[in-house]
Amino acid sequence: MPLRDLALGLAVIAIWALNIIVIKLGVAELPPLLLTTLRFALVAALLVPFHPVARHQLPFLALLSVTFGTLHFALLFIGLGQAEAGTGALLVQMGTPFATLLAVVFLRERLEPRRLAGLALSFAGVAVLAGGPTLPAPLPTALLLASALGWAISQLLIKQGPNVSPMALAGWVALFATPQVALGSWWFEQGQWQAIAAAGWAGWGAVFYTAVMSSIVAYGLWYGLLRCHPVNRVVPLTLLMPVGAVLLGVVLMGDGLGVHKLVGGGLVIAGLALIVLRVGGKRPAA
């Protein structure tokens, strides 16, 4: 890969790693479902007018908005509000092992020994994390793993669904997900208008960053690289994302870096490497 393209790929990974920190800062000022609603609304406003889709694609996009929009992103924002940045990023990476298992069960894909070893290492890494002090309480842990499962289900739907351009998919999923998450915010959260009025640079910066930088700019650059290079040259860069999130959490948020996080995180990333380097894939991030 040319140095310029490698730099662009690393820039995307940096954007996605920093996105974890930004979400944590944002949910400190805005309730997580409200923040997710504002993010989706901004993505939809910026993308939908310029990326029309066929009418027959709308049911697929509506379904995807439930699994990818509501299940993945909404639970991610809630879970990260109660978890350390690095630990949360590592848990969300379990979407890749989940997707592998779902493909074996529902798509009858073959599970080679290499991928089986990757699955074993990934789940062993979560088990090690569970024994350390950085793992959040059971509820946010379950929410982050459910978010990873939502991502995995979405990847199977995208693989089997109609061909929709990445920007159109992001925009229309955001459009359909906006009222779903807004309803959740209305039902489960309080003080939304007061939070909006009191939000400062962290809250509104999180809305802008998660929508524009993480979803639109990073995705645009990423899929541009995938069009120019083989998938197996680009996708391995995603292994650096949780590493970056862990380091940024330590430097910017004061997160701990104990033996459980180092060993458990290393096992998770090693397992992902065995799966991704063998199979490849277009893995979106939060």
* pLDDT, tens digit, 9 for 90 and up, residues 251-278: 999 888 888 889 999 999 999 999 888 5
When pLDDT is cut at 50, 70 and 90, the band that residue 134 belongs to is: low
Distance from C-alpha of 73 to C-alpha of 87, rounded to nearest angstrom: 17
- Report the chain's mean pLDDT, rounded to a whole number: 91
pLDDT beyond 90 at 62: yes
Output the pLDDT for position 280: 42
Distance from C-alpha of 57 to C-alpha of 54, rounded to nearest angstrom: 5
Q: What is the DSSP code (8-state) at residue 283?
A: -
Look at residues 27, 24, 32 and name the one whose alpha carbon lies nearest to residue 254.
24
Distance from C-alpha of 27 to C-alpha of 33, rounded to nearest angstrom: 9
Output the pLDDT for position 278: 52
Q: Which of 55-59, 124-128, 206-210 has the lowest mean pLDDT?
A: 124-128
Q: Average pLDDT of 195-212?
A: 96
Look at residues 65, 270, 280, 281 and name the one whose alpha carbon lies nearest to residue 182.
65
The residue with greater pLDDT, 174 or 232, is 174
pLDDT beyond 90 at 180: yes
pLDDT beyond 70 at 284: no
Statement: the pTM of the whole predicted model exceeds 0.85 = yes
pLDDT beyond 80 at 131: no
Distance from C-alpha of 178 to C-alpha of 37, rounded to nearest angstrom: 5
Determine how many CB atoms are found less than 10 A away from the CB of residue 206. 27
pLDDT beyond 60 at 137: yes
Output the pLDDT for position 43: 97
Diameter over CA atoms, the chain: 54
When pLDDT is cut at 50, 70 and 90, the band that residue 281 belongs to is: very low
pLDDT tens readout for residues 240-258: 999 999 999 999 998 888 8
When pLDDT is cut at 50, 70 and 90, the band that residue 193 belongs to is: very high
pLDDT tens readout for residues 6-60: 999 999 999 999 999 999 999 999 999 999 999 999 999 999 999 999 999 999 9
Q: Which of 96-110, 185-199, 220-234 has the lowest mean pLDDT?
A: 220-234
The residue with greater pLDDT, 168 or 110, is 168
Cβ burial, residue 50 (10 Å; 0-12/13-18/19+): exposed
Phi-psi region of 285 (alpha: psi -120 to 50; beta: other; left: phi over 0): beta
Query: Which residue type, as a one-letter code, is found at position 233?
Result: R
